[in-house]
Amino acid sequence: MIQDKTKNYYQQKVTGVLQFITNNIGGDLSVKTLSERFGISFFHFHRIMKAAINESLGAYINRIRLETAIKLLRYSNEPLTDIASHIGYLDLSSFSKAFSKEFGLSPLEFRNNKAIVLNTHIDYRVSNEKKIITNLKPKIISIPDKKVCCIHFVGKYGSEGTNKAWDELGDFAMKNKIVGWRPDVFAVYYDDPDIVDIDSCATDLCIATKKTFIEEGRIKAKTITGGKFGVFRYKGSYDYLWELYNSIYKEWVLFSDLKLRDLPSIEKYLNFAHNTKPDNLLTEIYIPIE
């Protein structure tokens, strides 16, 4: 009974904290301020919140701020500087940096392109104990066909050969100036390593571009089929990606009313860079649906 009362006590506290954050997203949301306001020990506050929401408090606040930013950018005429202040950033530069880091494009680019759909929810991430944490809320979106600069690679997914192909593709794109500072980078996977020899698995490594370029060697121009997709967002090392596919099919596909299209899956790499820490990598998995 005592344990239940304690549990209910902290659950109520957590609910209050989360509601306060939502209602005061532009205010002082430091651990000191929140712990004092809700009467929770400063020394234990962060751990209690992380246990309840399965992510750090800082990451949660940042996500809520960016979710609010998406709504204001799309549905209001507020100037960017006002939005930045409204959601708790010191200035427009800090807001733009956070937004671009999370979504791979600037707030202004998002506001000016109504076709773009952004996702802040994390469906999968890796705990400190290296276990997959699941919170499935996939977005259902439709995307247009995309013209790409690509390399068709055959071999083990994630191998040294794959990495060299990515480097070759990136160097070509930079040299020929066919992408902006935040390229749209993704891969189309055609084979399942469980049924196809790992050295025979085929993939298209792609960088989307609207520019025309002259093909060179194994670098080709191609159009990737768009359409309707279920999109799952993952934060963490690429080492766990194949495990996520098994989870998507087991926990979502089998219980969804949606039918799959006869097309391969796509992985989009939102902050693909050699200097990005594995735990901070953001990947979206696109499952083609009717």
Q: What is the pLDDT of residue 261?
A: 95
Which tokens belong to 196?
């196809």
pLDDT tens digit sequence for 129-160: 788 888 888 989 888 899 999 999 999 988 99
Q: Can you tell me whether residue 146 is helix, strand or coil? A: strand
Please, what are the domains in the chain? 2-112 (1.10.10.60), 139-288 (3.20.80.10)
Q: Strand, coil or helix: what is 102?
A: helix
Q: How far is CA 65 from the centre of its chain?
A: 15
Torsion of CA 230, 233, 239, 240, to 10 degrees: -70
**Residue 1: pLDDT band with limits 50, 70, 90:** very low
Residue 122, pLDDT > 90, answer no
Q: How many H-runs (helices) and E-runs (strands) does the chain carry?
A: 9, 10
> Confidence class of residue 100 from pLDDT cuts 50, 70 and 90?
confident
What six digits make up the tokens of 189? 């996977």
Give the Cα-Cα-Cα angle 169, 173, 177 (nearest 5 degrees).
Answer: 175
Please tell me the pTM assigned to this model.
0.73
| Percent of the chain predicted with pLDDT > 90 | 56
β pairing state of 132-134 and 219-224 = unpaired
Written as one letter, the residue type at 39 is: G
User: Could you give the CA distance from residue 147 to residue 169 in angstroms, rounded to a whole number?
Assistant: 15
